[in-house]
Chains A and B, each alone.
Chain A
Amino acid sequence: MFPESKIPEGPLAEKWEKHKFNVKLVNPANKRKYDVIVVGTGLAGGAAAASLAELGYNVKAFTYHDSPRRAHSIAAQGGINAAKNYQNDGDSVFRLFYDTIKGGDYRAREANVYRLAQVSVNIIDQCVAQGVPFAREYGGLLANRSFGGAQVSRTFYARGQTGQQLLLGAYSALSRQIAYGKVKMYTRSEMLDVVVIDGQARGIITRNLITGEIEQHAAHAVVLATGGYGNVFFLSTNAMYCNATAAWRAHKRGAYFANPCFTQIHPTCIPVSGEYQSKLTLMSESLRNDGRVWVPKTVEIAERIRKGEIKASEIAEDDRDYFLERKYPAFGNLVPRDVASRNAKQMCDEGRGVGTTGLAVYLDFADIIKRTGADAVSQKYGNLFAMYEKITDEDPYQQPMRIYPAVHYTMGGLWVDYNLQTTIPGLYATGECNFSDHGANRLGASALMQGLADGYFVIPYTIGDYLASTAPKPVTTEHPAFKEAEAEVRGRVQKMMSINGTRTPDDFHKHLGHLMWEYCGMARNAEGLKYAKAEIQKLRKEFWSDLKLTGTETELNQALEKAGRVADFLELGELMMDDALDRNESCGGHFREEYQTPEGEALRDDDNYAYVAAWQYNGDNQPEILNKEELSFENVKLTQRSYK
């Protein structure tokens, strides 16, 4: 039977308030008797660890970084949404809720998204109080801009470094609690398993990345805030260390994995330039406000560009195809991320891509430079232009930028109920590592919002409900389950060390990434998914018989760390193929070629697929069991997204 989503009864706007009243409370004097483990210290984890410590719980926080300040949340550029209506432009909690549900193509849970919109307002206040230097107007009040298709200005920002400033805010709150002794911080520690006793999460197994020591940590509850798994594609905009291991090991212990194939592909990234490439760099979406996207009208001209015979600026206006403006006259270059990405791929598939690889389209600023002058453009986008020039060695004031879509964010993740609890009681998942708030497509400036909402304003309330029903007796690592889990972790590490084959972890990772991108990327079809699944199975066998590592497991060994993560990506990748194959519809960033409108747009099937696919692990090499959480929409009307 599917576990309940525990969505509170009553009108949408009252659910969260009522729920907060109905959850059980832990007596203040008892709070110090409870230990909570938080894994990951980005926006969701850092905020959760600090807030739980402020309440009085004993927190143990873990990160594989050398400092909690380095979590990948730091790299977010654009901004964070909040329904403050400071601009008097008609924004409201309901409008933010509505935009988010619609933007997610109606595959998110109404109640969770509404709560997100509600607490968005508190997030800004909290961050301002911490000293986060948001952009201000000359009158001293907070500044806003519009973002990602929204028709109101509700995005708060700190230049192009909003993620950094918000993370440093959470990090400072966390640092304060570390100094007080309420948080014990474990850096350079990677979680490799979760310990489940009598069906409840009671601790974790970690590896100290400096000494290689395997450690046991017990607690009354465990919160995972370990981010997304976009690096399953090898190349992505994620930081190099982002991985699925913690979430995947939790999955294998019984936590369901929801909508794994929902991946966001971001349209404005710097294209791949060679085989050696380690990651992709995102250019802020704001560039599409003024840049015009185009490719040559004919394959012949595109070929001449690829050979370096002509430059983009030499191509006559009549020979250019501004394909977004042509196909979507109402939204033009500002269509949502999934639409822009898919169309860029189509152009390249037709042979009209540019750059040496042919996998790029132009983002051209010539018109705006002509209209307002290079200085005005530099004022607005100077740092982005400089970044582009640094990476590509091309001057975007002279030649158009080359862009191509890249994997950016994963909307799938561990299934959680309204309390953010996974299907393992006592195990919670927050931020990008859960599935709950973005549906099939994440809107701009909503990821930071969810991370902080979960960390500051949801988990501190909901975890109390669970802890209050758990006796405040100390939990220790004496239970045999700890020893067993540790032995499994050790066995796995030693097995990888002993294979002594010929292929490096990166080699396997690149191979997997290629399969994922080709067959489960911007466009998928049943045939390709089945083929890729079989290929991944082969690759996994090879991994466990031909992996090459050096050194030992009892020292800093970065190749070993990498190998463990690749092993988990290989299993997750296969599940992503299954999930994409099950969903016989196109929605959000998930485009199944068999399901499209006559105009080639995504065709959703609400009658049959308005559900969350929650996959249940069923033993090694066994097909996973599909559980369906039906989504009901009582407050919004499901409509076809159209940007024509």
Chain B
Amino acid sequence: MNLTLKVWRQKSRTAAGAIVDYQVKDISPEMSFLEMLDVLNEDLLRKGDEPVAFDHDCREGICGSCNLFINGRAHGPETGTTTCQLHMRKFSDGDTITIEPWRANAFPVNRDLSVDRSAFDRIIQAGGYVSVNTGGAPDGNEIPIPKEIADRAFEAATCIGCGACVASCKNASAMLFVSAKVSQLALLPQGHVERKTRVENMVAQMDKEGFGACTNIGSCAAECPVGISLENIAILNREFLAAKATSNNLA
């Protein structure tokens, strides 16, 4: 396949960016999208041009590093897939493909297609954990958890933190990401003690980072590569309201 790529190039966080056109030739349908970019980068480097910076690592759809906005969609045209698991057979010879970084104020561009997602880490640091020190934990079976609850907690816990939800949302809201962690820990007995302060603190941090509000459009869940459900946002709202109404948070 021969393709035209329209790629967002931006030298640094403060530099102005622009779309630049590239041609790639002899792309095999077996390649992953990122392998196609590897081919482009090898060409650029050999020619003495600077390769396109992009984030990636495991290339198995689990580390959450890859974050490309392809033809206007997070992780490209296929649903339920990260960019690294998107294959070129989903495109046709002669296609023009537009590749941009995640677009959100809270995710500033490092360079080209690589963005800074540390806002997500700061939200987790605000309370996305169970406060337990190493050592001295009770036997695992001392905390029985009904299978349905464990399974639901697991479903929420599968979030890979890639940021596709934010990138797909017209408000750049981080509600799906935050709700996944809040649901997981609110469902489990271990997370119960800090339930109220957790949701209050995580939501406060989310707002502080500059993520937008949720207006129930649902594109976050539609574009989520691992299928995190919108139900979690409902749980988040319920947890937040309940916490506000009966807060232990004296601050």
Residue of A whose beta carbon sits closest to that of B129: A172
Contact assessment for B190 and A128 in the assembled complex, using a CB-CB cutoff below 8 Å: yes
Known interface pairs A122-B135, A138-B147, A556-B53; A131-B188 also in contact (CB < 8 Å): yes
Q: Is the CB of A136 within 8 A of B134?
A: no
What residue of chain A has the Cβ atom nearest to residue B130's Cβ? A131
Q: Which residues of A contact B143 (CB under 8 A)?
A: 128-129
Does B210 sit within 8 A of A, measured CB to CB? no
Q: How far is the CA of A437 from the CA of B157 in the complex (A)?
A: 30
Residues of B within 8 A of A387 (CB): 61, 85
List B residues 129-145 near A (Cβ within 8 Å). 129-135, 137-141, 143-145
Closest to A86 in B: B141
**In the complex, are the beta carbons of A176 and B129 less than 8 A apart?**
yes
Are the CB atoms of B58 and A74 closer together than 8 Å?
A: yes
The range of chain B's interface size is 35 or more
CA distance A366 to B161 in the complex (A): 37
B97 at the interface (CB under 8 A from A): no
Task: Give residues 16-67 of B contacting A (CB, 8 Å).
Answer: 28-32, 34-35, 38-39, 41-42, 44-46, 48-51, 53, 55-65
Instruction: Determine whether B240 belongs to the interface, using a CB cutoff of 8 Å to chain A.
Output: no
Q: Is the CB of A278 within 8 A of B132?
A: no
A137 partner, pick from B64, B129, B147, beta carbons under 8 A = B147
| Cα(A555)–Cα(B15), bound, Å | 12
- Given A69-B121, A391-B87, A550-B45, are A141 and B63 also a contact pair (CB < 8 Å)? no
Distance of A133 Cα from B11 Cα, bound (Å)? 42
- Which residues from 167 to 216 on chain B have a C-beta closer than 8 Å to any C-beta of chain A? 184-185, 188, 190-191
- CB–CB A164/B48 < 8 A: no
The contact size tier of chain A is 35 or more
> Residue B154 at the A interface, CB < 8 A?
yes
Cα distance, A130 to B161, chains bound together (Å): 19
A residues near B161, Cβ cutoff 8 Å:
67, 69
Which chain A residues numbered 230 to 264 have a C-beta less than 8 Å away from chain B?
A: 239-241
B116 lies within 8 A of chain A by Cβ = yes
A240 to B34, CA, bound (A): 11
What is the CB-to-nearest-CB distance from A287 to chain B, in angstroms, rounded to a whole number?
16
Q: Are A278 and B65 in contact (CB under 8 A)?
A: no
Instruction: Write out the residue numbers on chain A whose beta carbons fall within 8 Å of the beta carbon of B190.
Output: 128-131
Given contacts A176-B125, A556-B114, A558-B51, contact A129 B137 (CB under 8 A): yes
Interface assignment of B105: CB less than 8 Å from any CB of chain A: no
Q: Determine if A70 and B65 form an interchain contact, defined as CB atoms under 8 angstroms apart.
A: yes
- Give the complex CA separation of A122 and B225 in angstroms: 34
B89 within 8 A of A: yes
Residue from the list B35, B65, B134 in contact with A51, Cβ < 8 A: B134
A47 — which chain B residues lie within 8 A by C-beta?
134
Query: A390: which of B35, B87, B124, B130 is its contact (CB, 8 Å)?
Result: B87
In the bound complex, residues from chain A placing their C-beta under 8 Å from that of B139 are: 125
**B118 within 8 A of partner (CB):** yes
B50 touches A550 (CB 8 A): yes
Q: Is the interface of B mostly helix, strand, loop or mixed?
A: loop
Contacts of A141 in B (CB 8 A): 141, 144
Given A165-B157, A550-B48, residue A556 in contact with residue B111 (CB < 8 A) = yes
Task: Check A173–B154 contact: CB distance below 8 A.
Answer: no
**Contact among A129, A168, A460, A549 with B138 in the assembled complex (CB-CB below 8 Å):** A129
Q: Which residue of B lies closest to A72 (CB)?
A: B58
Residue A548 lies at the interface, judged by CB distance under 8 Å to chain B:
yes
CB-CB under 8 A from B114, the residues of chain A are 556
Inter-chain contacts of B62 with A (CB < 8 A):
74-75, 161, 164
Q: Which residues of A contact B138 (CB under 8 A)?
A: 125, 129
Instruction: Provide the residues of chain A in CB contact with B28, threshold 8 Å.
Output: 273-274, 276
- Contact check, B42 vs A172: say whether CB atoms are below 8 A apart: no
Q: Assess whether A393 is in contact with B38, with CB atoms less than 8 Å apart.
A: no
Contact of B137 with A65 in the complex, beta carbons under 8 Å: no
User: Contacting B124 at CB < 8 Å: which of A137, A175, A502, A551?
Assistant: A175
- Complex Cα distance A140/B153, Å? 13
Q: Given the interface contacts A70-B57, A506-B38, does A172 sit within 8 Å of B135 by beta carbon?
A: no
Chain A contacts for B134, CB-based, 8 A: 47, 50-51, 54, 126, 173, 456-457, 460
Residues of B within 8 Å of A278, CB to CB, are 32, 34-35, 38, 59
Given contacts A67-B120, A556-B53, contact A161 B184 (CB under 8 A): no
Does any Cβ of A come within 8 Å of B76's Cβ?
no
| Residue in contact with B157 in the complex, picked from A67, A168, A241, CB distance below 8 Å | A168
Do A175 and B125 touch across chains, with their CB atoms under 8 A apart?
yes
Is B117 an interface position by the 8 A CB rule?
yes
Q: Could you say which residues of chain B place their CB within 8 Å of the CB of A631?
A: none
B92 at the interface (CB under 8 A from A): no
| Distance in Å: Cβ of A471 to nearest Cβ of chain B | 27
- Chain B residues with Cβ under 8 A from A239's Cβ? 57-60, 63
Residues of B within 8 A of A133 (CB): 150, 153-154, 157, 184, 188
Q: Which residues of A contact B126 (CB under 8 A)?
A: 179
Inter-chain contacts of A51 with B (CB < 8 A): 133-134
Give the residues from 260 to 292 in chain A that come closer than 8 angstroms, CB to CB, to chain B. 273-274, 276-279, 281-282
Report yes or no: B64 in contact with A136, Cβ–Cβ below 8 A. Answer: no
Q: Which residues of B contact A124 (CB under 8 A)?
A: 140
Q: Which residues of A contact B35 (CB under 8 A)?
A: 276-278
Q: How far is the CB of A388 from chain B (nearest CB, A)?
A: 12
A456 and B132 alpha carbons, distance in the complex (Å): 12
Task: Give Cα distance in the complex from A327 to B131, angstroms.
Answer: 53
Q: Does A109 contact B (CB under 8 A)?
A: no
Flag whether B12 is at the interface (Cβ < 8 A).
yes
A497 contacts B by Cβ under 8 Å: no
Q: B96 on the interface (CB 8 Å rule)? A: no
Inter-subunit contact A504/B42 (CB<8 Å):
yes
**Which one of B61, B85, B87, B124 contacts A393 once the chains associate, using CB atoms below 8 Å?**
B87
Q: Which residue of A lies closest to B140 (CB)?
A: A128
Known: A125-B138, A129-B132, A164-B62. A178 touches B50 (CB 8 A): no
4 nearest A-B residue pairs (beta carbon): A140-B144, A172-B129, A129-B137, A133-B154
Can you identify 13 A-B contacts, CB atoms within 8 angstroms? A86-B141, A125-B140, A128-B190, A158-B157, A172-B130, A176-B131, A178-B125, A274-B28, A276-B35, A456-B135, A502-B46, A506-B42, A551-B50
Other 4 A-B pairs with CB < 8 A, given A51-B133, A159-B154: A130-B130, A142-B140, A456-B135, A549-B45
Task: List the interface of chain A (C-beta within 8 A of B).
Answer: 47, 50-51, 54, 65-70, 72, 74-75, 84, 86, 122, 124-131, 133-142, 158-159, 161, 164-165, 168, 171-173, 175-176, 178-179, 185, 187, 210, 239-241, 273-274, 276-279, 281-282, 387, 390-391, 393, 456-457, 460, 502, 504, 506-507, 548-551, 555-556, 558-559
